[in-house]
Structure 1
Amino acid sequence: MIIIILAGVFAGLLVYGAIYDVLERIIPNWVSIVIALAFLPAAYFAHLTLHQFGWHLLVGFIAFIAGVVLFYLKAWGGGDAKLVAATSLWMGVSGGMTFLAAFAIAGGIVAIPLIIVRRLKIEPKNERLAKIFDVKKVPYGVAIAAGGFWAAPKSLILINALNAISVAN
């Protein structure tokens, strides 16, 4: 039961981070921190072996280093880098490549409308719409969440959560 709750927290925070990123163009630090911290009990209740746990940590660490590099190259925001690293912890090796591929594709899809708005020089009159269609910052939180949901069926932790749901029914 606890693994189901933790998987729900993970999914809910991905959605929250994506929506917040669209509206404010920032992903709050606490979202990534809670996702990363929730990974620890989730790994325990998903019965990951120490070997599997280590691989999940390694994937998260590599994602964090890549995110830091992209942040310093000004390709990503800091929130994007932290959310990718936290989500990668949950994906591990089994879902990591799928997550990165889905995240990259979704990132392009998210950027296309903003590129169109920039090229057409459309400037919404409504302040909220102007912020949503701010072409200077792409809300990659949406792409990160999409990649996380796409790769979820390959994550050992989330597979165990789905199995717990089917056993409960």
Structure 2
Amino acid sequence: MTLLILFPFLMILAAVNDIMTMTIPNFIPLVLIVGFSLFAPVAGLSATTIGLHATAAVLMLAVTFCFFACGWIGGGDAKLAAATALWFGPTMPLLDYAVLTSLIGAGLTLALLVARRMPLPVFAEEWAWARRLHGAGTGVPYGMALATAGLIIYPDSAIWKATMLS
């Protein structure tokens, strides 16, 4: 049961890092991958199911790498999305995750576009992360959308359900 905290903790860490630095450290997707690899058998997922989860992650990486190559998302975002897909597998939660991430990402992008048209509040001018986030040439911390959607969808995942039933 305690291992169920790993995924939410890493999602929150990824979101905060992305907002503060516009990067997602490589150790976050790596720990997600290792955590799933260790936790899935303990949760009772079969080797076939684990393989299907791995396939979903590889496919997600291929898609998000194309997004990265087009300049639509950062490399950390692509790796985080793939590591998250490993936890969700090729079932409905993964499709829900992709759609919800897109919607949250669109909302975040629109909110940033609006906010960037307004002056940065005086109290926030001291914060380097706020100045960077407010900058017109700065991208969108899409890790926030990935993490938020991941946290919302997580209770629908096979690994969550398998752990809760045992």
TM-score, normalised via structure 1 length = 0.87
Q: Percent identity?
A: 28
Alignment of 1:116-135 (within 5 A): 116-118=114-116, 120=117, 122-123=119-120, 126-128=125-127, 129-135=130-136
Partner of 2:102: 104
Pick aligned residue for 1:42 from 5, 27, 39: 39
User: What is the CA–CA distance in structure 2 between the aligned matches of 1:36 and 1:133, rounded to whole Å?
Assistant: 33
8 Å CA contact 1:63, 1:85 repeated in 2: yes
8 Å CA contact 1:27, 1:141 repeated in 2: yes
Shift of 1:71: 0.9
Partner of 1:20: 17
Alignment of 1:132-151 (within 5 A): 132-135=133-136, 136-151=138-153
Partner of 1:30: 27
8 Å CA contact 2:19, 2:144 repeated in 1: yes
Partner of 1:60: 57
Alignment pair present for 1:158 and 2:132: no
8 Å CA contact 1:114, 1:134 repeated in 2: no
8 Å CA contact 2:45, 2:162 repeated in 1: no
Q: Which stretch has the larger CA shift, 145-154 or 30-39? A: 145-154
Q: Which stretch has the larger CA shift, 12-21 or 130-139? A: 130-139
What secondary structure does 2:82 align onto?
A: helix
Shift of 1:40: 0.4
Q: RMSD between aligned alpha carbons?
A: 1.6
Which ranges in structure 1 are unaligned for 5 or more consecutive residues?
165-169
Which ranges in structure 2 are unaligned for 5 or more consecutive residues?
none
Q: Which stretch has the larger CA shift, 107-116 or 10-19? A: 107-116
Count of aligned residue pairs for this structure pair: 160
Shift of 1:7: 1.9
Which residue type is aligned with residue 134 of structure 2?
Answer: F
TM-score, normalised via structure 2 length = 0.89
Shift of 1:124: 5.1
